Protein backbone atom coordinates (compact mmCIF):
# COMPACT_ATOMS: atom_id res chain seq x y z
CA UNK A 1 0.00 0.00 0.00
CA UNK A 2 1.16 3.48 -0.78
CA UNK A 3 2.47 5.50 2.14
CA UNK A 4 -0.13 8.04 3.32
CA UNK A 5 0.77 11.56 2.40
CA UNK A 6 0.48 14.84 4.21
CA UNK A 7 0.95 18.28 2.73
CA UNK A 8 2.50 20.87 5.02
CA UNK A 9 1.39 24.25 3.69
CA UNK A 10 3.17 27.42 4.88
CA UNK A 11 0.74 30.36 5.13
CA UNK A 12 2.17 33.83 5.51
CA UNK A 13 5.88 33.74 6.23
CA UNK A 14 6.86 30.98 8.65
CA UNK A 15 10.62 30.35 8.95
CA UNK A 16 11.46 27.72 6.26
CA UNK A 17 13.89 25.95 8.57
CA UNK A 18 11.21 25.66 11.24
CA UNK A 19 8.83 24.25 8.62
CA UNK A 20 11.45 21.64 7.65
CA UNK A 21 11.93 20.62 11.28
CA UNK A 22 8.16 20.24 11.73
CA UNK A 23 7.97 18.12 8.55
CA UNK A 24 10.70 15.80 9.81
CA UNK A 25 9.01 15.45 13.21
CA UNK A 26 5.68 14.51 11.55
CA UNK A 27 7.40 11.98 9.29
CA UNK A 28 9.24 10.18 12.08
CA UNK A 29 6.34 10.21 14.56
CA UNK A 30 3.48 9.27 12.25
CA UNK A 31 5.47 7.42 9.55
CA UNK A 32 3.90 9.32 6.69
CA UNK A 33 5.44 11.08 3.75
CA UNK A 34 5.34 14.86 4.15
CA UNK A 35 5.47 17.25 1.22
CA UNK A 36 6.20 20.91 1.95
CA UNK A 37 4.10 23.04 -0.41
CA UNK A 38 5.10 26.46 -1.73
CA UNK A 39 4.13 29.18 0.74
CA UNK A 40 0.91 31.12 0.19
CA UNK A 41 -0.61 34.29 1.62
CA UNK A 42 -3.30 33.77 4.24
CA UNK A 43 -6.80 33.84 2.72
CA UNK A 44 -8.03 37.46 2.90
CA UNK A 45 -11.50 36.34 4.04
CA UNK A 46 -9.94 35.00 7.25
CA UNK A 47 -8.66 38.43 8.36
CA UNK A 48 -10.42 39.74 11.49
CA UNK A 49 -9.66 43.47 11.61
CA UNK A 50 -11.18 44.09 15.08
CA UNK A 51 -8.43 42.01 16.70
CA UNK A 52 -5.86 42.14 13.90
CA UNK A 53 -5.60 38.39 13.63
CA UNK A 54 -6.77 35.55 11.43
CA UNK A 55 -9.81 33.34 11.89
CA UNK A 56 -8.66 29.71 11.99
CA UNK A 57 -12.16 28.41 11.12
CA UNK A 58 -12.16 30.48 7.93
CA UNK A 59 -8.70 29.18 7.06
CA UNK A 60 -10.02 25.61 7.41
CA UNK A 61 -13.02 26.45 5.19
CA UNK A 62 -10.63 27.92 2.63
CA UNK A 63 -8.57 24.71 2.62
CA UNK A 64 -11.63 22.45 2.59
CA UNK A 65 -12.82 24.05 -0.64
CA UNK A 66 -9.63 23.12 -2.48
CA UNK A 67 -8.33 19.86 -3.93
CA UNK A 68 -5.04 18.57 -2.50
CA UNK A 69 -3.17 15.47 -3.59
CA UNK A 70 -2.84 14.20 -0.04
CA UNK A 71 -4.83 12.50 2.71
CA UNK A 72 -4.16 15.38 5.12
CA UNK A 73 -3.29 19.07 4.86
CA UNK A 74 -1.62 20.86 7.76
CA UNK A 75 -1.25 24.63 7.34
CA UNK A 76 1.47 26.32 9.38
CA UNK A 77 1.58 30.07 9.86
CA UNK A 78 3.59 32.61 11.84
CA UNK A 79 0.51 34.86 12.21
CA UNK A 80 -1.85 35.02 15.23
CA UNK A 81 -5.02 32.94 14.77
CA UNK A 82 -8.33 32.76 16.62
CA UNK A 83 -11.72 31.13 16.63
CA UNK A 84 -15.05 31.32 18.48
CA UNK A 85 -15.02 29.37 21.74
CA UNK A 86 -18.33 29.05 23.57
CA UNK A 87 -19.55 32.57 24.33
CA UNK A 88 -16.20 34.15 23.45
CA UNK A 89 -16.54 35.46 19.94
CA UNK A 90 -12.86 35.68 19.15
CA UNK A 91 -10.44 33.60 21.18
CA UNK A 92 -6.72 33.41 20.40
CA UNK A 93 -5.54 29.86 19.78
CA UNK A 94 -2.38 27.94 18.85
CA UNK A 95 -4.14 25.67 16.38
CA UNK A 96 -7.39 24.21 15.12
CA UNK A 97 -7.99 20.81 13.52
CA UNK A 98 -11.06 19.10 12.16
CA UNK A 99 -12.13 16.12 14.31
CA UNK A 100 -11.83 14.09 12.21
CA UNK A 101 -11.17 15.69 8.86
CA UNK A 102 -8.64 16.48 6.20
CA UNK A 103 -7.24 19.81 7.37
CA UNK A 104 -5.79 21.60 10.35
CA UNK A 105 -3.99 24.88 10.90
CA UNK A 106 -1.52 25.86 13.58
CA UNK A 107 0.57 28.92 14.38
CA UNK A 108 4.04 29.49 15.78
CA UNK A 109 2.91 32.93 16.98
CA UNK A 110 2.23 32.15 20.66
CA UNK A 111 5.72 30.65 21.06
CA UNK A 112 7.57 33.42 19.23
CA UNK A 113 9.21 34.71 22.43
CA UNK A 114 11.19 31.47 22.63
CA UNK A 115 12.42 31.46 19.08
CA UNK A 116 15.74 33.15 19.73
CA UNK A 117 15.96 32.60 23.48
CA UNK A 118 15.61 28.81 23.44
CA UNK A 119 15.44 27.41 19.94
CA UNK A 120 15.38 23.73 20.94
CA UNK A 121 12.34 24.26 23.17
CA UNK A 122 10.70 26.41 20.51
CA UNK A 123 11.09 23.68 17.87
CA UNK A 124 9.81 21.04 20.30
CA UNK A 125 6.71 23.12 21.10
CA UNK A 126 5.77 23.78 17.48
CA UNK A 127 6.36 20.11 16.61
CA UNK A 128 4.12 19.04 19.51
CA UNK A 129 1.48 21.49 18.32
CA UNK A 130 1.58 20.08 14.77
CA UNK A 131 1.14 16.53 16.08
CA UNK A 132 -1.75 17.67 18.31
CA UNK A 133 -3.70 19.24 15.44
CA UNK A 134 -2.94 16.41 13.02
CA UNK A 135 -4.05 14.01 15.79
CA UNK A 136 -7.45 15.72 15.74
CA UNK A 137 -7.75 15.25 11.96
CA UNK A 138 -7.01 11.55 12.45
CA UNK A 139 -9.87 11.30 14.95
CA UNK A 140 -8.15 11.78 18.32
CA UNK A 141 -10.12 13.95 20.76
CA UNK A 142 -8.55 15.75 23.74
CA UNK A 143 -6.97 13.50 26.35
CA UNK A 144 -6.85 13.84 30.14
CA UNK A 145 -3.58 11.96 30.48
CA UNK A 146 -1.06 14.43 31.84
CA UNK A 147 1.68 15.30 29.36
CA UNK A 148 -0.04 13.64 26.37
CA UNK A 149 0.28 15.42 23.02
CA UNK A 150 -3.54 15.47 22.87
CA UNK A 151 -3.96 17.34 26.18
CA UNK A 152 -6.31 20.33 26.00
CA UNK A 153 -4.30 23.56 26.22
CA UNK A 154 -7.20 25.05 28.22
CA UNK A 155 -6.41 28.55 27.03
CA UNK A 156 -2.75 28.50 28.02
CA UNK A 157 -0.68 27.24 25.12
CA UNK A 158 2.67 27.94 26.77
CA UNK A 159 1.89 26.19 30.04
CA UNK A 160 0.40 23.25 28.17
CA UNK A 161 3.45 23.01 25.89
CA UNK A 162 5.77 23.03 28.92
CA UNK A 163 3.88 20.06 30.40
CA UNK A 164 3.98 18.01 27.20
CA UNK A 165 5.94 14.75 27.22
CA UNK A 166 6.30 15.11 23.46
CA UNK A 167 4.44 11.88 22.64
CA UNK A 168 0.93 10.46 22.38
CA UNK A 169 0.10 8.62 25.63
CA UNK A 170 -0.32 4.82 25.45
CA UNK A 171 -4.09 5.10 25.15
CA UNK A 172 -3.99 7.72 22.36
CA UNK A 173 -1.28 5.73 20.55
CA UNK A 174 -3.51 2.62 20.69
CA UNK A 175 -6.52 4.59 19.43
CA UNK A 176 -4.42 6.04 16.64
CA UNK A 177 -3.20 2.59 15.67
CA UNK A 178 -6.78 1.32 15.58
CA UNK A 179 -8.01 4.25 13.51
CA UNK A 180 -5.20 3.80 11.02
CA UNK A 181 -5.69 0.03 10.82
CA UNK A 182 -9.34 0.59 10.01
CA UNK A 183 -8.55 3.08 7.28
CA UNK A 184 -9.16 1.49 3.92
CA UNK A 185 -7.76 4.09 1.60
CA UNK A 186 -5.36 6.97 1.40
CA UNK A 187 -8.01 9.47 2.47
CA UNK A 188 -8.20 8.01 5.94
CA UNK A 189 -4.87 6.52 7.10
ZN1 LIG B 1 -6.94 20.34 20.52
ZN1 LIG C 1 -3.53 10.73 25.34
Q: How far is the CA of 55 from the centre of ligand 1 (A)?
A: 16
Q: How far is the CA of 99 from the centre of ligand 1 (A)?
A: 9
State the burial class of residue 15 (Cβ atoms within 10 Å of its Cβ: 0-12, 13-18, 19+): middle
pLDDT at 33: 93
pLDDT at 23: 98
pLDDT at 181: 78
pLDDT at 174: 96
Instruction: Provide the 10 A C-beta neighbour count for residue 134.
Output: 26
Q: pTM (2 decimals)?
A: 0.95
pLDDT at position 183 over 60: yes
Q: Which of 71, 183, 164 is nearest to 111 (CA)?
A: 164
pLDDT at 167: 97
pLDDT at 180: 83
| Contacting residues for 86 by C-beta, under 8 A, at least 6 apart | none
Ligand nearest to the CA of 93: 1
Q: How far is the CA of 24 from the centre of ligand 1 (A)?
A: 21
State the burial class of residue 26 (Cβ atoms within 10 Å of its Cβ: 0-12, 13-18, 19+): buried
Domains delineated in the chain:
5-182 (3.40.390.10)
Range 162-170 average pLDDT: 96
Q: How far is the CA of 121 from the centre of ligand 1 (A)?
A: 20
Amino acid sequence: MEEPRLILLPLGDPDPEVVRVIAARIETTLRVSVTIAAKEPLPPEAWFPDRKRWRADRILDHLAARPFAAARVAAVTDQPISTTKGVIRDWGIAGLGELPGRQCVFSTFLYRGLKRRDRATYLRYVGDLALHEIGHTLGLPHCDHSGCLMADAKGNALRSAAQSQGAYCARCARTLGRLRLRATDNRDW
